[in-house]
Structure 1
């Protein structure tokens, strides 16, 4: 299922109109029709805001069906959740995906985990001919091992019984019901694990520019040698960025909020449609690059025009820094 199909299904389920969504995003209603027809994929840059509005995790909209390259049947059981790649049993639940078994007539769900060695793996709960099976698979879905869910001799553990009962009820649902269960599970998981996420690993980011880049009225960035260190949540963007700068202003909302710290990868140019850090007349701006201007996402703010001064690209915005509490 495509991203826009998931958005449409969620809107139908939650009884949200196209106008309500486009008003929230500050867009013309006709934009949504272009998304549905495939003429325009600008929704990709609004994924985070759309996910917030629909009250679902961002990864749910982005994820595709998991495609298996094996038949996960007739497997043993025990009950430690462990990585099939390294055997590490200290893991983190990420989310749920539907499973695509191809031409094979089976039904199942994939529960996604990450282990402490940074491997992604899945616990496949599979229903076949009235029976329920479970198997671990690696990220490529080619290596797998038995998923031990607590069966010793002829006895069944409480965990095994719970998983089988959940899987049985899940498989009996229609597509609407399955999506509702997945949405509720994601929301409740997010609520229950908020404390753990707030304790995420942090690193010291050493290239934070004390001069703010304005997303509203401009700011002097000429003193670019002034840097300080800040503590940030460890993310791939934090390692890829050349430096970070704080946004001062509201003109890129709802995409980027006032006070956000954005990661910048230095570059002399960015593609049209991407957000970058630009300089004009000594002032720095976080804007989307247009074909003949720098675009503000907030309609209350003007775009930046080249006739008002040469526009120089400093770099590309690759993410927003997450700060520890």
Structure 2
């Protein structure tokens, strides 16, 4: 019996809080017969399959269509990957944007450093350099006083090629940029006013400082629990976020 079909039927029984003995009693079969079906050793005839769907209150036609779709792509993806694709397709545009953002960032990480626990290439040791660190001035929320004082301290960062343009570091205060950036994260920033739509940067509006994604006419929060911030004549760009420690 197809792997997806086995998994769906077994999960449907569990979700209905039924033991194998319960289902076997309804069908008039031995419990080990049902156990063999759920392990893929044997399979029920079509009439029994329909009865199982009735017992579990699942639609036979939809289940079989799903199984057929999985069989068409099974050579390319695993069952868990197929289930993830189905979940992705059910998301709205905001959900898909967050998933795509995370996938892109994780792909970049793997390409640069390899998978966790794997040694895909020799580890390169980089020299360190000092940059200024403002630890509580970039708001991922309702606003923070703009950088107008001396940095709180200096911190060391690796002198990697991708960090060569980093001018300073700044802490994140708030959760409006989740899942990309969390409260307390340390952002590495290039001090520049040249930033493109879609980039994440540090911005000043009305003497408040924000970390946001630049939109056409507004600063965008990745966390939709927070409103976007319209750009006005007071808006200024303080830097482009290069990464985080």
TM-score by length of 2: 0.55
Of 104, 110, 115 in structure 2, the residue corresponding to residue 59 of structure 1 is 110
Structure 2: how far apart are the matches of 1:294 and 1:269?
15
Unaligned 5+ segments in structure 1 are 1-8, 33-41, 52-56, 63-93, 96-185
Q: CA RMSD in A?
A: 3.8
Corresponding residue of 1:189:
118
Matched, 1:312 2:241: no
Tell me the SS of whatever aligns to 2:189. strand
For the pair 1:27 / 2:78, whether they are aligned, the reply is no
Structure (1 or 2) with the greater helix fraction: 2
Structure 2 segments unaligned to the other structure (5+ residues): 1-75
Structure with greater contact order relative to length (CA < 8 Å, sep ≥ 6): 2
**8 Å CA contact retained: 1:26, 1:298:** no
Aligned-pair CA distance for 1:59: 3.0
TM-score (norm 1): 0.43
CA contact (8 A) 1:26 1:299 kept: no
Higher strand share: 1
Task: Give the secondary-structure state (helix, strand or coil) at the position aligned to 1:278.
Answer: strand
Conserved in 1, the CA contact under 8 Å of 2:135 and 2:186?
no
How far apart, in 2, do the equivalents of 1:200 and 1:251 lie?
A: 34
Cα distance in 1, alignment partners of residues 117 and 78 from structure 2: 20
Q: What are the within-5 Å matches in structure 2 for residues 151-190 of structure 1?
A: 186=115, 188-189=117-118
* Aligned pairs, number: 170
Distance 2:92 2:174 in 1: 17
Query: Bigger shift: 210-219 or 282-291?
Result: 210-219
Query: How big is the shift at 1:297?
Result: 0.2
2:187/2:242 contact within 8 Å kept: yes
C-alpha separation in 1, matches of 2:77 and 2:209: 38
Corresponding residue number in structure 1 for 2:68: none
User: Is 1:270 matched up with 2:199?
Assistant: no
The 8 Å contact of residues 237 and 263 in structure 1, kept in 2 or not, is answered as no
The answer on 1:48 being equivalent to 2:105 is yes
